[in-house]
Structure 1
């Protein structure tokens, strides 16, 4: 090799070593022109639900390909371009930076967004019933609802509904026409909550009088083990059902609209009154006051004697100790141990009217809202009145007219015959001798020998019960005009009798309720020598049997146990018929049955 060749060889070798060394070193970074960047956002202060615009570069033009978070809380992108993202501030967002992630690359804002309080995000924790038809009332429970009904937007699987009432934790809504099975949403302040379970919407085309299978887990009825009988029923504004009566102690049970026990009431849905030498031992009636508290009336014991008694429970089932004496009122006079206070009604001004018996006389007591006797305005300074009526009577039911007068129905026994008695009292407790049953202020009628319930119907008075026709009892109704005369346009001389269960079957009606167009009677029907059924019949407003109910009979029969006595009937907000009672023999239990209207 010559000197020139050696020089060339060295130059080539050095060049190769330089190139090889360069290949082993780190590569020079190449800028990524597609990486996202945030240059600004607007507004700088926002609340949950507000719309915010982010500007920058490298955003995806497909909304779902941009992942946006507010201080770690993910948000939903509404729209986007390569330089702009429109997004709603999510519920739960807090003050901090905003991030945008595209294709796994994240950009963070250089400034922070200030998130103010705004409207807390609503949540849905449950709803009841789980199955419903259009027109039914449904209760949604949760948090952060608006107390203004119109500020809650409720939808059933996308179909908008009308909110009836609302609190911060509960919404009462009517299932809208066209609703289908699916989830329920509640939107408040632009923030939407979705139920975790679906509502089943049925067609609601069942036959009138059929058992409502959305109640009682598909059976149409529920039973609750209580050692006694349910004598009274009331439906709350939210559709929950109260049943009250006897037991080991006086007992009130509250059911959700689907028939399950309301565990937020009493102990696992059952509230009992305290027992002892001074107690209210049997509840015969109950009523709801304007604040949602529960007033019960029945048989009490005080000073070693039976008395008319009343108590008031808070909405959670606890005893309201601000009422009466530590929660219970006892009449100053004694009462037959079978009677006590038979019924209770609450006036428009909140005062409470009790009716019952003392010394074989009608007894009517009016209480102030605190459970003390209304000595200032009723009963000539003593807060009660008694009325002597032939036949050792007792007052059984009371209803308050629009003018404040009190219509009281009861039973007497005259010349070997059961007798219906109806009296009317003025607002001060005096008998209305000028306007009703002149000159006595009361009337008697032997056409209905076993009166059990009463209702006011467009100024007229309807008494329901039973009477003997031939050798057996039949369901019966008697209607009086407003002045106490018999309404001859009703049935035959004011009397309607119906052999519920068929010819030759004995049936005794124990409870009654008025619908928007007619009358419901419920009773005990002895269909066999050893067992009985509940009989429910529907009549027109003028007492004609409605054969579209329980087609073609006008009545339905339901078996619950062997000897069911339906002592109370009510109509719920959906027009459905709710009947409560207990067993006359066998295992003691309350029952509640619901029928389609």
Structure 2
């Protein structure tokens, strides 16, 4: 009799266990279980204040977030373990702060196959903002085999310049993209694996494309054929702008006829992230549109010839109103082609926000609440911005940016899963 009761009890437990499962978009509480809420991290502000700009995930699940130290104007990296703890084996208690000129910040980060960390941003030297790249060893020390003591600064003419994103080519070369020319030019710089300018690319490793006022190359991606695609804005009002270069750094005239494609989406618009959707082989550009003072998440999908893909969203474009206003700063593509966009929305305070779209640009109602996830941080302040987002190998979603005016991040379940203790 006791054995029968035990079996019945086990069946009941298993039944309820199978029906209590984390939903897609739910915070992963195994990542910093003591966070507020669990599943989130925020760098303590007892002595310094950090701002998060971008992130990368290592093969062991550790999360590297880059940005700057607001209180000292130094570029910075922070590493969290897969469990969401500051990694004591990295820098000083998980933090690396690097003085580069009088002011510096990192905006892009990538992990090499050997685990070394490559970053890009800007450093202010002699009063002028300069393209900046650096490489760190896995313990957070600068890699002396890269540039000068691990750092490379690249003046782009005599005017201010900054790198906002970077990528690693399959051959190990580093491509950084940003702006120069007093905010009139897209700029792309390619470095060798040792940090020297790649003379086979553009002019001495540098390519500039003048597009007029309010121009900025904000993100870069690589096509399978090696062509380089940069997304950003140009013109007044600012307009979605995509530029494609050949492997040698020449404007690719098979893209939009000139290598340059601008897309008017009403009001002003900006691309903040760009990537290849491998399931379709097409280009995804993510940012925001501002119409009558109100921002919307905005995504466009382009064919490889630069035309908008009419099968995506409405004639190639999707806009989403979240809260009273919202901005998308980053995006990542899941294995099935779904697009996870990260940013902020007014709820009414600025809130850490994710939205997921199906492969063809409609909000995915299986994610969060009608396709949207809001993550308020239970701190003393109110701000939250998800600057960038990545997909881990196990399908979990990691976003980073700012929580309560300090560097922070969160990890989410990518899909509904069943944790079956009765298997």
TM-score by length of 2: 0.85
- Contact kept? 1:538, 1:545, Cα under 8 Å: yes
Equivalent of 1:286, from 109, 112, 121? 109
Q: What is the 5 A alignment of 1:5-84?
A: none
Aligned-partner Cα distance in 1 for 2:395–2:124: 38
| 1:471 CA drift (Å) | 5.2
Higher relative contact order (CA 8 A, sep 6+): 2
Residues 258-311 of structure 1, C-alpha deviation per residue, up to 9 Å, x if partnerless? 10011101111111113445x7x1001111122111111001133442111100
Aligned-partner Cα distance in 1 for 2:218–2:193: 22
1:396 corresponds to = 218
2:95 corresponds to = 270
- Contact kept? 1:436, 1:483, Cα under 8 Å: yes
Quickly say closer, same or farther: Cα 1:549–1:316, change in 2 above 3 A: same
Aligned-partner Cα distance in 2 for 1:276–1:450: 29
* Unaligned segments of structure 2, at least 5 residues: 1-16, 415-423
Q: Larger C-alpha radius of gyration, 1 or 2? A: 1
- Contact kept? 1:307, 1:334, Cα under 8 Å: no
Equivalent of 2:373, from 550, 556, 570? 556
Q: What is the 5 A alignment of 1:449-528?
A: 449-458=269-278, 459-469=281-291, 472-501=294-323, 505-517=324-336, 518-528=338-348
1:85 corresponds to = none
Q: What is the SS of the residue equivalent to 1:430? A: coil
Aligned-partner Cα distance in 2 for 1:283–1:571: 21
Please identify runs of 4+ aligned residues in structure 1 that moved more than 6 A.
201-204
1:541 corresponds to 2:388: no
Q: What is the SS of the residue equivalent to 2:261? A: strand
1:254 corresponds to = 79
**RMSD of Structure 2 on Structure 1 (CA):** 2.0
Q: What is the SS of the residue equivalent to 1:437? A: coil
| 1:562 CA drift (Å) | 0.5
Aligned-partner Cα distance in 1 for 2:29–2:156: 47
2:147 corresponds to = 324
- Contact kept? 1:305, 1:334, Cα under 8 Å: no
Equivalent of 1:211, from 27, 40, 59? 27
Aligned-partner Cα distance in 2 for 1:223–1:202: 32
2:410 corresponds to = 593
Residues 160-212 of structure 1, C-alpha deviation per residue, up to 9 Å, x if partnerless? xxxxxxxxxxxxxxxxxxxxxxxxxxxxxxxxxxxxxxxxx999821111111
Quickly say closer, same or farther: Cα 1:430–1:534, change in 2 above 3 A: same
Q: What is the 5 A alignment of 1:332-411?
A: 332-334=155-157, 340-359=162-181, 360-375=184-199, 377-380=200-203, 382-411=204-233
Would you say how many aligned residue pairs link Structure 1 and Structure 2?
A: 379
Aligned-partner Cα distance in 2 for 1:307–1:294: 20
Quickly say closer, same or farther: Cα 1:203–1:335, change in 2 above 3 A: farther
Residues 441-491 of structure 1, C-alpha deviation per residue, up to 9 Å, x if partnerless? 110112171221111113211111111356521111111111111111111
Aligned-partner Cα distance in 1 for 2:310–2:158: 36
- Contact kept? 1:306, 1:334, Cα under 8 Å: no
- Contact kept? 1:420, 1:445, Cα under 8 Å: yes
TM-score by length of 1: 0.61
| Higher mean displacement: 555-564 or 327-336 | 327-336
1:86 corresponds to = none
- Contact kept? 2:232, 2:270, Cα under 8 Å: no
- Contact kept? 2:100, 2:124, Cα under 8 Å: no
